[in-house]
Structure 1
Amino acid sequence: MSTRLPGSDRDEPWRGHWIGAEPAPVPGVSGGLSGRGFSRVLFRKEFRVGSVPASLPLRLTADSRFVVWVNGREAGRGPVRAQPRRWRYETFDIAPFLEPGPNVVAVLVTYYGSATSWWFPAAPEGGINGDACLVLDCLPGGPDELVSDASWRVHRSTAWHFLGTFGVPCEVLDARELPTGWTRPGFDDSHWSTATVLTARHWGGLGRSRPPVSPYGKLLPRPIAVLGGDTIRPAAVLDARLRQKPVWASEHPGSRVVQHLESPGDPVPTEGCLPLSAALDADRTLDVVIDFGAITAGFVELDVNAPAGTVFELGYREKPKSVGVIETTSDYAAGARYISPGGRSVYTALELAGLRYLYLTVHVPEAAEVTIVDVAVRENVYPHTGTAYFSSDDEEIDRIYRAGIRTVQLNSFDAFTDCPTREQRAWTGDGVVHQMVHLATNEDWRLAQHYVELANSPRSDGILPLSVAGDFEKFQGFTIPDWSLHWVHGVHNLHRYTGDRDRLAPSLPTVERVLRWYEQHLDEHGTLSDLPEWNLVDWSSVFTTGRTSIVSALWARGLLEYAELCDWVGNSGSAAWARERYAGVAASFEDFWDARRGLYVDHFVDGERRPAASQAANAAAIVSGLAPRERWRAIATAMTDRSALVTRSWIGGDGGYDLQKEEDQRRGIQRIDWDVEREIVRAQPFFSYVVHDAVARAGCAERIVDLVRDWSVFLDGGYDTFGECWGWGTPVHGWSSTPTRDLVVHVLGIAPDLPGFERVRIAPRPGPLRDVAGAAPTPYGPVEVDIRGEKATVSSPVPIRFVDLDGGSRHLPAGSHHLLIQRAVPTIDDISGKPSA
């Protein structure tokens, strides 16, 4: 376990130099992701201490990633993902790892070469970047040797290479080529090269070698908590067989492990657990299927006893492979390959993986006994801390609450990601749901704040990338413009929950740039038309072509939120602009109203109002306030009428991606296969957060409990996480976790009433739950609500505005209060988050 110190405590000038290994790899020759400059370099430095100090902070960073050991014990990993010119460093207290006498710090630095899901290279400037590089020093007063300079020893390793994929790269380690004992004192590194001090060679660089220096600039401290978790071991060994070794159809281990599952094989006794031994020869493989019982995410560890050259192909899967079935969703290739150095050895992955099932294929160069001693995943997720909870008299609802927390945690690393199994990208829009779950359930809000800061990386035209700090941002291609509007909502969320003006101030100019990006697409009516790029909304079959109600309403929500933020910081000019643009949308939004159906339609094409209506359009109309208040309840009732709802997606369904639908979508063909005059397209799990906000705002929050029951469909087969879409997609997608937030914010009714929780709003709407209780974090401590029948107890460290079912408010001081609550037919509720007079 690493011991980290807050990076913000260290702002002394750097004494360490950027160092690397010469010669640098030649692009296209060294292998790696698409064969463009992948490299792993080993750095080590021995030093002596007379007596072990109480504390010895060590700070370091590297491009692209590092693992640091002290005396053979792992002390930490890093840095967190970031844009190259906002690069981060880590600080560790290494005193617990030290011993009197000789010690060693050893660092493995990975340079990916070409962009991945979580990293992209800095612009080439020569000198510092373009290869594995490291900078390191310790607190003044520590050992003088612990400063990165030319005295360090370096070795460019040939033990690893990568097989590139669309999402998570595949790690291949030939442990026979890895120096034994290089992380421990006493290793003979005399044959290694000395490190090269890297200097800036650009105009104005002046040969600098210490931070701050371009391209990384001033290094920033780690802004979030250390990741970690339990070590997860298999729930069961499902199958083990000896099979005839095939002719491999793929180089990728994730494909190899399922290549010959249909082939007959001889069962190997397992008793459902490890260890497992088998006698192999060069013509046969040992194929093992292991189930961890649920999705997990972290570093795979494989403990084996095998002769040198034994190959272990590891395939990581979120769902079991169905023999004879082509699965377009789950047949992505993910895995690793480990080649044994001989004898007892342990493979510990350097790359994080998400999986439930581990498919393992073992083959040997010659006849030998092989033992799989143990397999585990050392989880590496963001900590869920504090005393927040939710419990009720309905176990289904309680299970849904817990599943949302677990789903978000499995997508909370150094950023909020879509899924740990397929991509691990920090999608700009997805993260708003993760953020809201953190704010409602996790005492540690640093990652919720970092979501906004990391994504504050606009293109030159002001809009945000699809995902940030990775390949999509690097390539600067088309984006999902409405993802930027969800990010704006994330900024507003932080305003309400934290009330931190100083921290939010850098985001506000970007909010305005995002909103102004849309101005060029206003039509003569004042609504948005003919939007370019990928206007996703979610994976449901909604229409955003032509004149769009959905994106116009999301933009309007953003304008109102920005106006509120501007009022908060005293920017009256931008507030007036935002309200003026909002008024322009409001003036003609009525055009989308279908009075016959009592719903808003999705769009106009060529001046004609088309009949397609969706939950997305109507929810957005309510949360933006564009729909007249007197319509809200009827709209909420109509758009949640299960007899009229249909589940449709332009690209998926029936268990996976529909390749024909996907191709049609790319060509602009969107086929309506539902009764467009009567039926309403249901939102997918992501946009359901907007739907549930609309239902609650319309005074129907009592229905939230029954709406979130739909998420129980994901929790079959031992899964404890929410999937990507209704009926298809990954089984662990963070953007689907709104029920957990909803149970806190809409059912318990706990939300900020003034920025920073200077006052809390409590508006419980338990619906069919007779007994329900829970607590939510605030900057001042938890707020707790406990309802037993018609009696409620509320406890708060800050003043309370208690909202009754009829919309009336009671103002209460901080402390504990016993109240009677109504369980009558509700009226329109105030959940705007705005303070009352």
Structure 2
Amino acid sequence: MKFIVTLLLCLVSLSSFGYDWKAYWISTDACQSEPNTWLSYRKTVHIVQVPDEAIARIAADSKYWLWINDNLVVFEGGLKRGPNPEDTYYDEVDIAPYLKAGSNTIAALVWYFGKQGFSHNSSGKAGFLFDCQTSGIEIISDNSWTCCINEAYSTCSGPKPNFRLSESSILYDARKEMEGWVTQSFKSSFPGASKLQKAGGAPWNKLVKRPIPLWKDFGLKNYVKSYKSKDTLICVLPYNAQFTPYIKIKSPEGCRIVMGTDNYYYYNGATENLRAEYITKAGIQEYESLGWMNGHRMYYFIPEEVEVLDVKYRETGYDCDLAGSFYSSDAFLNQLWRKSLRTLYVTMRDTYMDCPERERAQWTGDAVNESGESFYALSPSSHALTKKWLCEIIDWQQDDGSIFAPVPAGNWRLELPGQTLASVGYYGAWNYYLHTGDKITLHHLYPAIKRYMELWKENETGVVSFRNVGWVWGDWGSERDMFLLINVWYYLALKGMYQMALELGYTNDADSYIRRMTSFKNAFNTHYWTGIAYRDSSYKGKTDDRVQALAVVAGLADKDKYEALLNIFKTEKHSSPYMEKYVFEAMMMMGYEVEALARHKERMKYMVEDPYFSTLFEHWNIGIEGYAAGTVNHAWTGGGLTILSQYLCGIAPLKPGYEQIAIVPQPGNIRQAKAEVASVKGMIKSSFVQEEKGITIDVKTPADIPTVVGVPINNTKEIRVNGTLIWKQGAYRINRVALAYEDDSQTHIKFLVRGGNYMFQSINH
């Protein structure tokens, strides 16, 4: 088995590095690799016969747009560097549909960021690489290409974007544009390109295949509405989106149009982000600013002498479907799920992001929550972004074994121990495997995670000593019992490692982890349970609700503590929206569904009911009553989406890759609800309607996949499935549809069925 996995890993490696590259990184001698440099490339090639497929391998530092024979082939290609501290991603694009027999023109526009950032590791040199080798065709970037600096592009004057962003605010001067340079009919010529390094050479080093899809391009669309306020044209988007603004005007020469969103001018997280500017040429003209922005409103500041003929926007984003769904009889929960989904999607691109305007940074604790949501809300193509995140934090591991985030990053190296433990453990690496069954990636991650876990040493009480490294951050807000927070995250990491070791066949490791978990749990409860709460003796603040929640979801707190913990969750409310997900989950796991829903609705009320925003906030509110530095679309806040689908509607994988499925709804006081999940095995549907006479649960799971269905007890007299009696007055009835399923549940009567469509109906006393 280990040999097979090793072989598969080698094949994966060869797919990235074993290709016989012939191309060179190319640029122009005039380029000094200044920040925010834009380069134009052209190449004419003659083709005798167009093949069925022609895969071009394309890389750029930092982004590129590609045209072939006047057709836009790629809108914003390339990924921010890098897969590790040294190397660079490349794209694969099938260009055959755009080629023709005879003369073909290839044009590329490259945007070189030239700055470090919290999501980009700059190579320090602008460059472009193109390598297409197929039957009868060889198109490689070398000095047969032409290249020049595109001087129409430059940088807006201050204020500059904050240091976390590698992008610059783009100024385009139409008076300097090379009209039609991407077309076949362009008559002027550029200087010859300069060869810098052959593929694989420094500073870009090894080329690693892009692990996620090219962006979905929704095309140019009309705004929902537009209206004028003095010199400003205000355009309304249907929701918070990643988009590029377009404008068509009639203007004299030299007028300056400024473009920015409400997330630039008003809801910017208390620091500068990105805007765009355009200087007109004379006559009718159109322009699309290529650096994506986000927000609910687009503001065009229009000089008086400029006539606006049209405005549009182009939404782009991660290429997946919003395939999951949720609906219930509670309008608030429906809105919560929808806003969580929109928040998730607007914070996915090159990486998971904490927010799409202030930082665009892959803080790894945020990514834990995002990845959990993606399994319930998006199509399986989204799983690649979770894999990319996990591989990046591992492949950026430092020499001393520590793991930090955000990565990729050119100007950050500090570890956040709590977030790292969350990522490598139960809710991170293990949850990815549970939902995907991707054992090859699990093999890749495991040794590095094991090495990281060895950095944590046991203290005199039997838990782990505090590693005062990097940024010891537990959560925003007050009343943080930091020692216990870190320790419970450590236990969750142990729990994930135990599951991974079992799955990978590392029995000695698994035995070691389970022994450690057993001794840790005993020590934790002996030394830190006060009788009413978990508390470190050196901590003097109010009881930390976060610690109690993590203790429940980790399995450290047994059922005899639930009543005391419920009282804490009713009275202590200190967690940020990031950690509130775990409180919500803990209360559902404890079986207090009504109280769990009430608390989450109370805490989320302000942002869910806000009529302006389609996304959820970094903090509990904004404006006068809020936190000035918070963003209005923050990835970590949507964890309630996961809980509604996983617990309220009860959908979860029982075995990795959905080889066995659970449908165990916890309705609480919700009259009806339904959810759909696009799993790796196919679509899963769960719905319930509860009435005074009993509950009806409709289940649809992929054919032949074993499915465990749980019916809430609730004074149940009998249970039928598809009309057949299967349980009555406390006893299972033999039948040909459902088998009895025994576990330690005290809340549900469970049955095992083969995948398919089923209607379970209970009748109460």
Shared fold (TM-score greater than 0.5)? yes
8 Å contact kept, 1:401–1:740: yes
Secondary structure (helix, strand or coil) at the match of 2:216 reads coil
Q: Give deviations 1:704-737, integer Å, cap 9, x for gaps.
A: 4444434342241332211111013222112111
Letter in 2 for 1:133: G
Equivalent residues of 1:724, 1:732 under 8 A apart: yes
Match of 2:697 in 1: 792
Query: Residues of 2 paired with 1:425 and 1:346: CA distance?
Result: 32
Instruction: Report the counterpart of residue 41 of structure 2 in structure 1.
Output: 43
In structure 1, the residue matched to 2:3 is: none
Q: Any idea what the Cα deviations from partners look like across 1:326-383, whole Å, max 9, x if unmatched?
A: x8845634311111233222222222211222333344xxxx7311223333111123
Q: Secondary structure at the match of 1:518?
A: coil
Percent identity for Structure 1 against Structure 2 = 22
State the Cα distance separating 1:387 from its structure 2 match.
Answer: 4.7
What is the distance in 2 between the residues matched to 1:527 and 1:587?
Answer: 13
State which of 226, 229, 235 in structure 2 corresponds to 1:237. Answer: 226
Change (3 A) 1:298 1:821: farther
SS in 2 for 1:616: helix
Quote the residue 2:676 is aligned against.
775
Cα separation, 1, equivalents of 2:583 and 2:221: 36
* Aligned match of 2:582: 690
The alpha-carbon deviation at position 61 of structure 1 amounts to: 0.8
Rate the CA distance shift 1:355–1:492 in 2: closer, same or farther, 3 A: same
Partners of 2:467 and 2:126 lie apart in 1 by 45
3-state SS of the aligned residue for 2:590?
helix
Displacement of 1:566: 0.8
Residue 112 of structure 1: aligned partner? 113
State the partner residue of 1:617.
547
Return the letter of the residue paired with 1:315: G
Helix, strand or coil for the counterpart of 2:521? Answer: helix
Is 2:169 aligned against 1:173? no
Q: Distance in 2 between matches of 1:704 and 1:51?
A: 65
Determine the structure 1 residue equivalent to 2:249: 304
Corresponding residue for residue 801 of structure 1: 708
CA distance in structure 2 between the aligned counterparts of 1:524 and 1:724, rounded to whole angstroms = 36
The CA distance in 2 between the partners of 1:106 and 1:823, in whole Å, is: 70
Q: Could you say if the C-alpha distance between residues 803 and 370 of structure 1 is closer, same or farther in structure 2, counting changes exceeding 3 Å?
A: same
Mean alpha-carbon deviation: is it higher for 177-186 or for 160-169? 160-169
CA distance in 2, matches of 1:382, 1:738: 20
Question: What corresponds to 1:810 in structure 2?
Answer: 751
Provide the residue aligned with 2:77 in structure 1.
78
Of 137, 154, 167 in structure 1, the residue corresponding to residue 147 of structure 2 is: 154
Report the CA distance between 1:538 and its aligned residue. Answer: 2.1
Aligned to 1:491: 429
Cα distance between partner residues in 2 of 1:12 and 1:477: 32
Rounded Cα–Cα distance in structure 1 between residues aligned with 2:118 and 2:299: 24
Q: Residue type matched to 2:119 in 1?
A: W
- Distance between the aligned counterparts of 2:63 and 2:459, measured in 1? 44
Partner of 2:56: 58
How far has the Cα of 1:441 moved from its partner? 2.1
1:508 offset after TM fit, Å?
A: 1.0
- The 5 A counterparts of 1:722-761 are 722-728=616-622, 729-761=630-662
Q: Does 1:463 align with 2:414?
A: no
Aligned residue pairs: how many?
Answer: 687
SS at match of 1:537: coil
Amino acid aligned to 1:109: V
Residues 326-405 of structure 1: pairs in structure 2 closer than 5 A: 329-330=269-270, 332-363=272-303, 369-385=305-321, 387-405=323-341
Which residue identity does 1:352 align to in structure 2?
Answer: W
Structure 1 CA distance for aligned equivalents of residues 351 and 524 of structure 2: 37
Tell me the CA shift for residue 523 of structure 1: 5.3
Q: Which residue is 1:422 aligned to? A: 358
Question: What residue is the counterpart of 1:638 in the other structure?
Answer: 567
Spell out the pairing of 1:242-641 with structure 2 (5 A cutoff): 286-292=231-237, 294-318=239-263, 321=266, 329-330=269-270, 332-363=272-303, 369-385=305-321, 387-444=323-380, 445-456=383-394, 457-470=396-409, 474-488=410-424, 489-519=427-457, 522=459, 525-529=462-466, 531-544=468-481, 548-590=483-525, 591-595=527-531, 598-601=532-535, 603-605=536-538, 609-635=539-565, 637-641=566-570
Q: Given that residues 439 and 448 in structure 1 are in contact (C-alpha distance below 8 angstroms), is that contact kept between their aligned partners in structure 2?
A: no
Structure 2: tracts of 5 or more residues without a match: 1-13, 623-629, 713-746
Deviates more, 1:227-236 or 1:791-800: 227-236
Give the aligned partner of residue 138 of structure 1: 132
CA deviations 1:171-195 (Å, max 9, x no partner) are 12222222111111132343x2211
**Alignment CA distance shift 1:565-1:226 (3 Å):** same
Pick from 643, 665, 672 the counterpart of residue 764 of structure 1: 665
Given that 1:314 and 1:359 are in contact with CA atoms closer than 8 Å, whether structure 2 keeps it comes out as: yes
Query: Corresponding residue for 2:208?
Result: 220
**Distance in 2 between residues matched to 1:822 and 1:588, nearest whole Å:** 45
- SS across alignment from 1:475: coil
Aligned-residue offset at 1:617: 1.0
Q: CA deviation at 1:585?
A: 3.4
SS at match of 2:578: coil
Structure 2: distance between partners of 1:370 and 1:100? 44
| Amino acid of the structure 1 residue aligned with 2:366 | D
Is residue 718 from structure 1 mapped to residue 612 from structure 2 by the alignment?
Answer: yes
Distance change in 2, residues 1:516/1:342 (3 Å): farther
CA contact (8 A) 2:62 2:79 kept: no
The answer (yes or no) to whether the contact 2:327–2:675 under 8 Å persists in 1 is yes
CA contact (8 A) 2:125 2:203 kept: no
What is the CA–CA distance in structure 2 between the aligned matches of 1:332 and 1:476, rounded to whole Å?
A: 19
Partners of 1:65 and 1:79 within 8 A in 2: yes
Q: RMSD value over aligned CA atoms?
A: 2.7
Alignment TM-score, normalising by the size of structure 1: 0.77
Normalising by the residue count of structure 2, what TM-score does the alignment of the two structures yield?
A: 0.84
Q: Which amino acid aligns with 1:793?
A: D
CA gap 1:412/1:819 in 2 versus in 1, 3 angstroms: same
Distance in 2 between residues matched to 1:617 and 1:157, nearest whole Å: 55
Contact 1:459–1:476 (CA under 8 A) maintained in structure 2: no
What is the CA–CA distance in structure 2 between the aligned matches of 1:384 and 1:399, rounded to whole Å? 21
In structure 2, what residue type is equivalent to 1:460? D
Residues 466 and 486 of structure 2 are in contact (CA less than 8 Å); yes or no, is this contact kept in structure 1? no
Note if contact 1:297-1:379 (Cα within 8 Å) is conserved in structure 2.
yes
